[in-house]
């Protein structure tokens, strides 16, 4: 049991270290560690965590650490994984704050931040594309051999995007509407 808690702690220390800008930019890292490397949860469970994280308070990385820690090593695993995820982010954030306060007038540092914004956009886009692909096809890799395409999921995604962008409907209402659509169509 203590070996599992140590693995959880180290994994979520790593995840927390890279999630200081937000969980969506590191969705692929979380997936790589908890789904692909350690096989603690399935890809389906992981996408469920992402979905549930939209309806519960707290960042994705924190929700993932709590859920996976509880599943793998009980309450102590959940506490250890969540603490490590939060701890590393807090330490890095404080260090980054001190650094940027000291160098806020540096053009080099501002240019570095511009580059980091661009890569964060790409990481978020890649994560979104992966979730969309999984929702529509049940696969994580794009392939010409798609066994199943979910047209209902595509319709719900398009209508959700339209309602969100055109009418600025709130996310809670949007999730409620999508939940009703899920009951109707599935």
Q: 21 pLDDT exceeds 70?
A: no
Span 133-183, pLDDT tens digits: 888 988 877 777 777 899 999 999 999 999 999 999 998 899 899 999 999
Are 123 and 28 in contact, with CB atoms under 8 Å apart? yes
**Is-above-0.75 flag for pTM?**
no
CA 107 to chain centre: 31
Q: What count of Cα atoms within 13 Å lies in the side-chain half-sphere of residue 41?
A: 24
Q: Assign 17 a pLDDT band (cuts: 50, 70, 90).
A: confident
Q: 48 pLDDT exceeds 80?
A: yes
Q: What secondary structure letter does DSSP report for 24?
A: G
Q: Assign 78 a pLDDT band (cuts: 50, 70, 90).
A: very high
d(CA 5, CA 2): 5
d(CA 125, CA 31): 15
The average confidence (pLDDT) of the chain is 88
């Amino acid at each position: 049991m203590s070996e599992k808690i140590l693995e959880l702690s180290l994994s979520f220390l790593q995840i927390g270290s890279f999630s200081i800008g937000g969980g969506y930019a590191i969705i692929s890292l979380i997936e790589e560690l908890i789904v692909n490397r350690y096989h603690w949860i399935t890809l389906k469970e992981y996408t469920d965590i992402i979905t549930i994280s939209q309806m519960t308070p707290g960042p994705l990385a924190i929700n993932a650490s709590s859920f996976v820690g509880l599943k793998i090593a009980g309450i102590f695993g959940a506490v250890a994984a969540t603490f490590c995820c939060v701890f590393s982010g807090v330490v890095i954030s404080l260090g980054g704050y001190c650094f940027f306060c000291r160098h806020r007038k540096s053009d080099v540092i501002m240019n570095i931040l511009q580059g980091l914004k661009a890569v964060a956009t790409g990481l978020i886009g890649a994560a979104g594309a992966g979730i969309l692909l999984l929702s529509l096809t049940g696969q994580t890799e794009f392939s010409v051999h798609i066994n199943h395409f979910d047209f209902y999921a595509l319709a719900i995604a398009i209508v959700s995007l339209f309602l969100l962008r055109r009418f600025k409907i709130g996310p809670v209402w949007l999730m409620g509407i999508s939940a009703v659509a899920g009951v109707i169509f599935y």
